[in-house]
Amino acid sequence: MAEKKTIVTYKGLKDIEGELQDLKVNKRREIAAKIKEAREQGDLSENAEYDAAKDEQRDIENRIEQLEAILKNVEVVDEDEVDTDTVGIGCTVKVFDYEFDEEIVYDIVGSTQADIMKNKISDESPVGMALKGAKVGSEVTVEAPDGEFKYRVLEIKRQEM
């Protein structure tokens, strides 16, 4: 069975590659120094610093594994080829939220880039799925865990990189 492709923008790809590089080069070196320092304190059986450093090392190695798996199955969206007639990954979309009577701007990104605090929403999220394929002027209903709400698409453009 083929693994699912991870869709990212070019900026998302660079972010993943940068994080992976930082983990492999800097974080591994830092954690090795922490482990060495903790070992020098003697008895490891009751050494909290050693245990904490080993836990951190495990977390770093797990994250490296995750990022490498993402990069093996990545598909990069070419921003120059993003269709601005319909909402999709790589688009910035301005919508009118009927419930709160306000305009909201979202960047539609792949799931690995999603960050709701920065209004970067995944194409797989309830809002992302509802907006996907919509055109300017379209009204969409979002089926979310906390109920239904409506948006009207006001503008679609390419994300600024």
Q: Tens digit of pLDDT for each residue in 82-140?
A: 778 999 888 999 999 998 999 999 999 988 889 999 999 999 999 999 999 999 999 99
pLDDT for res 4:
73
Specify the range with the lowest mean pLDDT, choosing from 38-47, 54-63, 97-106, 122-131.
Answer: 38-47
Other CB atoms within 10 Å distance of the CB of residue 94 = 16
Percent of the chain at pLDDT exceeding 90: 57
Pairwise CA distance, residues 116 & 113, whole Å: 10
**Mean pLDDT computed over every residue of the chain:** 89
pLDDT for res 161:
62
pLDDT for res 84:
84
